[in-house]
Amino acid sequence: MFAQFCFAFLALYSLAAASDPACDELIKPLEDRSKAIYYNSTTYEHIGRFLETCADCMLWTDDAVAELNGETRKSRNLYIFSKTGKLDASDLEVFKKQAKCLNLLPDLYFVETTDLCPEEKEPTTDGNSEDQ
């Protein structure tokens, strides 16, 4: 009987783990506590944080207040940076959900550019050749 209970519990637990994540889960800051940035000067105040995202990506959100020519401008921003310059469809969907959870407009602009910082590969040498 105990084994049947354990099996039923594990089955339900796996279903709960596979469910669509809630906003609290999508917009929680990374656990690395050194990732909070606060910058303040006389004309610009900027508060931001990194959020969890796909494996080869970095997600940044911030609120900024700037004073330009006596006019105060406020902005809320969300940036996703990927190592490859591309996002899988599933990662893009999670990003859109994160934007929605942060109450940002659904109009997203994502440029698939891969040539900004190309990875440099060192030339490989054949292990069979000998130096002369």
Per the domain annotation, does 38 fall within a domain?
A: yes
CATH number at residue 69: 2.20.25
Q: What is the mean pLDDT of the chain?
A: 72
- Predicted structure pTM score: 0.56
Tokens of 25: 């889960």
- Rounded percentage of the chain residues whose pLDDT exceeds 90: 1
Does a structural domain hold residue 126?
no
What average pLDDT does this structure show over 93-112?
Answer: 82
In a domain, 124, yes or no: no
Residues β-bridged to residue 50: 60
**50, burial (CB in 10 Å: exposed 0-12, middle 13-18, buried 19+):** middle
* Banded pLDDT at 16 (limits 50, 70, 90): low
Looking at the structure of the chain, the number of domains it has is 1
Confidence of residue 34 (pLDDT cuts 50, 70, 90): very low
Q: What confidence tier does 42 reach under pLDDT thresholds 50, 70, 90?
A: low
Q: Is there a domain that residue 96 lies in?
A: yes
Asked whether residue 66 is domain-assigned, the answer is: yes
In a domain, 132, yes or no: no
- Classify residue 100: in a domain, yes or no: yes
Which strands sit side by side in the sheet containing 71-82, from one edge to the other?
Answer: 37-40, 44-51, 57-68, 71-82
| Structural domain range at position 40 | 29-106
Whether residue 7 lies inside any domain: the answer is: no
